[in-house]
Amino acid sequence: MTIQNSIDQIRQRIDTACHKAGRDPATVHLLAVSKKKPLNAIEEAAAAGQKLFGENYVQEFVGKSDDSRLDIDWHFIGGLQSNKVKYLRGKVAMIHSVDRLSLAKEIDRQWGGCESPVAILIQVNIGDEPTKAGVTASELEPLVRQLALLQNLRICGLMAIPPQSDNPEESRHWFREMRKLADSIETLNLQNVSMTELSMGMSDDFEVAIEEGATLIRIGTAIFGARDDA
Ligand SMILES: *Cc1c(COP(=O)(O)O)cnc(C)c1O
């Protein structure tokens, strides 16, 4: 199947899931996760109307974005070391994987002097898995309060990768927990903080994520096919 066909199919599935959940499809944004895929695959997706792309690895991202002349927005969604933030400066519209103050401070420092602050999401380790990045639910509020003081970033919501499962229904309660966490942060009414975005749902479980309130779904395999890492 071509990338164009895959994207068309996913858009239909998004519409169906939104209809089922009583949501406006315009409130769900598709992020095409292009890690380990070449620029020509990204170009093909862009030709099919895809605007948002997600990358995981700094070096790979910089190479592709420097080579690309496409009018697209990049989101950084992978694990991020503070010493690499400088390579992302001014090139990404959103960073999904902020989970500690030291990293946020470096993002704040790098975006100083940029025209506009960078949008960030806080990654939550919603299943409390020892091997996964992200703050735990109880660490979330204290971190948000600290990050809210940084002037060159805007906290726009939360991101999560729930525990791996073969059955998308098993992800539902994790997505629901994420929504509750976002709601509880929203009620704090902090400056620089709005829980507008919930980045959750991937190739295997995005419909359930949409039913539970996702606004950004991150899809790789279902658009570009399997990766070497899969
Ligand atoms: C790779 C990746 C995805 C996409 O996963 P697929 O199962 O290929 O859709 C989404 N989010 C993150 C953080 C990823 O690293």
Nearest CA to 33 out of 65, 58, 50, 55 is that of 55
Per-residue pLDDT, averaged over 152-169, amounts to 97
Q: Which atom of ligand 1 is nearest to the CA of 203?
A: 9
Contact indicator for 132, 121 with CB cutoff of 8 Å: no
CB of 143 sitting under 6 A from ligand 1: no
Local confidence band at 140 (pLDDT 50, 70, 90 cut-offs): very high
Burial (0-12, 13-18, 19+ Cβ within 10 Å), 158: buried
Which residue is closest in CA terms to ligand 1's atom 7?
A: 203
For 86-131, the pLDDT digits (tens) are: 999 999 999 999 999 999 999 999 999 999 999 999 999 999 999 9
Tokens matching residue 149: 């003081």
Q: Does residue 210 surpass a pLDDT of 70?
A: yes
Which residue is closest in CA terms to ligand 1's atom 5?
A: 220
Domains, the chain, ordered by start: 3-224 (3.20.20.10)
For 8-62, the pLDDT digits (tens) are: 999 999 999 999 999 999 999 999 999 999 999 999 999 999 999 999 999 999 9
Mean pLDDT, the chain, rounded, equals: 97
155 Cα–ligand 1 center, Å:
21
CB of 68 sitting under 6 A from ligand 1: no
Residue type, 128: D
Alpha carbon 136 to its chain centroid, in Å, reads 17
Residue 24: how many CA atoms within 13 Å on its side-chain side? 2
207 Cα–ligand 1 center, Å:
15
Q: Does residue 230 surpass a pLDDT of 70?
A: no
222 Cα–ligand 1 center, Å:
10
Given this model, what pLDDT does residue 229 score? Answer: 66
Nearest CA to 165 out of 123, 126, 213 is that of 126
